[in-house]
Structure formats: structure tokens, C-alpha cells
Structure 1
Amino acid sequence: MAGPVTAAVLVIGDEILSGRTKDRNIGYIAEYLTAIGVDVREVRVVPDIEEEIVAAVNALRVRYSYVFTTGGIGPTHDDITADSVAKAFGVAIDVDPRARAMLLEYIKPEDLNEARLRMARIPAGAELVPNPVSRAPGFWIGNVIVMAGVPTIMQAMLDQVAPKLQTGVRMLSETVRADAREGDVGGPLGAIAQVNPEVSIGSYPFMADDGRPNTNLVVRGRDPAKVAAAVAQVRAMVEGLRKPG
């Protein structure tokens, strides 16, 4: 695509908001999509409440190229993502024969009870997202891609959909270690950012191995020449700070 391709990540689940489960998907998805030329612009976490899921899906899908959801497509009563997404799109939902067949590749017919069959309920018109790990599929409807919350399964599903995504020019990123505190570089870094409006320049403080505060300066952009020019200015600024006097 000519312009940037954008995405939002919608994490669904009371367990994330309560802290019982620590999210491991947001960073993985963001890094994965950035590497293939899709910019993650927003992340939301919502509880297992239908109206909140519906509202979030509808708000995000009109704002971004893609919405990736994680969580809430399991066999229990509080796994309501599929129903909520169907409601957001105004379509029916029922057991999908394709999804049921996938479940039977992993589950014995006599074990396919009502709870497990919930994982085969797919909104009308949705494309299935295969699940090589446990077979219960995700789905893709409109620009919304619904994936599992279990990290290994989510990652496998993301591998399945990635080749089908539209992508833009990949974001380039280069890091310069300042060997200085963030407050020492704030002024000159702001001046560099002002004369390089087509790149993004950020500062990220951290504690170095020697226990002293330090800062990474990160330049991001799509034009290699402009990124290189900004990085050269940042490096020159850092070298200037290191010189005595």
C-alpha cells in the first residue's frame, strides 16, 4: 500500500485487568507487525462484557486498517468474543461445519460436548484462521482478526494470517546510546527533532550495568536517507556532550 498500514490490538479478558494473567501478546504482536510493515497505533484492554467488546471493536475497526483481538474464544461461559464480534458486525453466529471439522481433528467425537462446541461458533461470513496447535480456529471478519489468548496459539494464528495482510513500507529504527541522563539530552534532542519532522525521535532512560542512569535515543522512519541523516545528527550531539568543557 502507498500509505501506512495501521493496526490496533484489542485484548479481551477480566483476567488481564485483574492482574491474574500477565499479558504476553501485545509486545509480540507489535514487534511482529512492525517487522512486516504494519504500524500498531493503539492497544486496548476490555473486560468480558459484551457491550464493551462491541463498542471497542466498532470504534477501532473504522479507525485502523486492522484490528487484532486476543482472548475470549474458549469453551467457557465467559468466552464471549465471537458473539460480541458478530453483534458488532450485525451478523448471525452459529456452529460452523468447517470449524467443527477442525475440532474433530483434535477431539474425539464422544468428547465434543456442548462446551467444546462453543469453540466452533463462528460469525456468518467470517474466514477461519487455522490453529495448528489445538485446532480450535480463530476467524477473520471484515478487518477484524480474532485470535486466541494463549500465547503459543496466538502466535501460530498470527503466522497463518500474516501472508494475507496488506503491508506498507517497513518502519526503520536505529538506536544510539547516549551515555548521558535523559535530562542532559532533552534540549538538543528536541532541536534535532524539530529539523527532522519526517522521522520520529524518542528517548528511553534505563539503568546501565554500572548502576548509573543512561538513555537510549531511537530514530524511526521509513525513508532510509532521512533516518540516516537524523541518526548522524544524534550521534554528533552525543559526541559533543561527551567532550570535556
Structure 2
Amino acid sequence: MSTESSAQAPTAALLIIGNEILSGRTQDANLIFIAKYLGGIGVRLREVRVVPDDEAEIVAAVNALRARYTYLFTTGGIGPTHDDITSECIAKAFGVPLIQHPEARRRLEAHYADSGLLNEARLRMANTPKGAVLIDNPVSTAPGFQIGNVFVMAGVPSIMQAMLTGLGDRLAGGPPVLSRTVVCAVPEGTLAAGLGAVQAEFPDVDIGSYPAFRLGQISTSLVLRGTDPVRLDAAAERVAALVTDLGGTPEIAAG
């Protein structure tokens, strides 16, 4: 069970683009980093979608998500190959032409100056929608870009992380999201009714229940998330008391 703790906080969606993700050939490694980073600056990641390298699907998803959330982040599809179509799709979503960004080209020319490897394929990485602002790439030079509330980043994890953490004051956040975890050996079904009562008492705290089997034993992690540390600690104590009342031994940890 879960409830959104702060309706006024900035929200975000993540659009993961790539046939390789949907085929299972590549495992996405960006979601966890993005969710934790955004939570740390007080932006709630509310939705994640995965779409193939298909123009119509990318355009539709971009327009739906950018209208619904404060920010939209995309990963993947801005490389030099034929199936890297994200830049074109973002331009179509915004109804603006795709151009070769002069500063992006300059950066690529400088990066490849001594290698002779700059070709038409690599120059595709300088293409952005008209009016876009570049997102720096300190790892491999080829930039991402921002247009409106949409931030277009690489799919390679090390590059994506450098791009995201370099956005600085472009993202207006809120209070950081804090968390507490109560671990116990009480089954979810036994906890359900009492946990619902605690959630009703603390509507400003998100409470999630996550069961597992560890060393052949039932284990339930009760994760509480919120922005007010006093309310968060109070809710965690109530959950711990519930576990104790049900014959369990709670263990409380931050994070």
C-alpha cells in the first residue's frame, strides 16, 4: 500500500527509449540512479515508461508525459546510428525543426580533431530541436539537450549520470524525500489491517510493504517515505509498535 505524501512537490517521469530494453538484451541501469537523485532534491518520480525505437510511440509518450509532470527525462536514442531517433522525435513532439546545433558541432569537432574519426554519422549527435539548450557531457563530449521541461540524456549509465548531476539549478526541487525501513518476520497478510490504520493516521507518509524469503524465513520490509523527519519517525515507531503487538521483533533503519 502507498499514498502520495506531498501533492505540491515537483514531479517527474522517465521515458526509457530502446528496442534493446524491451527485448531483454539490455538491462536498464539508469532508473535506480535517477529515482534516488531526484528524491534527494525533492522531485517525485511518478511514472516510468519504456518505448521502442518507434517515432509514433516516442512522440505520443513525450507529449503525454511532459504535459502531466513537472519534468520529463528521457534516456537512450541519441547516438550516431540509424535507430537513434530520439532527437528527431522530440522535435516532432514540440512541432519545431531539427537542426544541427552549432555549439554541439563545435564540441564534436574539437573532441575528434586529432583522430580523424568525425564523420556524418557522428555529426548526427549534434542534432537538436530548434531552441534546445545543451546538456553537458563531460564523459564523451556528445551533449544531451533540454527543450521546455524535457531533458534528453544518453542511455549509457556513466554518461547519463554525469549529465543528470550536472543540471544544477535547472531543476527546482522541494524538501528531500527521507525514508525509514522497519524489517520484521511478520507476514504481510498479518500486518495488512494494522498497517492500513497507520497509513490512515499518517497520510503524509508513503508506506510500502515488500515481502521476501531470506534463509528460508519470511521477511517483510516496511518502507516509509516522507519529507518531515518528525512525522516520519513517529510513523516508523507506530509501525514498529504494530509489529511488536503481532509478536514480531522490529528492526528500524534509516534508508
Identify the TM-score tier after normalising by the shorter chain.
Answer: over 0.9
Contact map agreement 1:5 1:166 (CA 8 A) in 2: yes
Q: Which runs of 5+ in 1 are unaligned?
A: none
Alpha-carbon offset, residue 200 of structure 1: 1.4
**1:144-163 map, 5 Å:** 144-163=150-169
Aligned equivalents of 1:68, 1:216: Cα separation in 2: 29
1:134 maps to 2:140: yes
Query: How far apart in 2 are the matches of 1:151 and 1:27?
Result: 11
Kindly report which structure 2 residues correspond to 1:148-187, keeping only aligned pairs within 5 A, or say none: 148-187=154-193
- Asked if residue 26 in structure 1 is aligned to residue 31 in structure 2, the reply is yes
Q: Aligned partners of 1:111, 1:225: CA distance in 2, in Å?
A: 57
TM-score of the pair, normalised by structure 1: 0.94
Q: 1:122-162: per-residue Cα shift (whole Å, max 9, x none)?
A: 11111000101110000000000000001111111111114
The one-letter code sitting in structure 1 at the alignment partner of 2:152 is: V
Tell me how large the CA RMSD over aligned residues is: 1.6
Note the C-alpha offset of 1:6: 0.5
TM-score (norm 2): 0.91
Q: How far apart in 2 are the matches of 1:68 and 1:236?
A: 40
Distance 1:243 1:215, change over 3 A: closer
* In structure 2, C-alpha distance between the alignment counterparts of 1:243 and 1:70, rounded to whole Å: 43
**Partner Cα distance (2:209, 2:75) in 1:** 30
Percent identity among equivalent residues? 57
2: CA distance between counterparts of 1:168 and 1:105?
Answer: 38
Q: 2: distance between equivalents of 1:240 and 1:144? A: 48
**Deviation per residue, 1:36-69 (Å, 9 max, x gap):** 1111000000011111111000000011010000
Using CA pairs under 8 Å that are at least 6 residues apart, name the structure with larger relative contact order, 1 or 2: 2
Deviations 1:86-116 (A, max 9, x none): 1101111121110011112321373221100
Residue 105 of structure 1: SS of its match in structure 2? helix
The answer (yes or no) to whether the contact 1:105–1:135 under 8 Å persists in 2 is no
Q: Which residue, 2, 7, 14 being the options, matches 1:9? A: 14
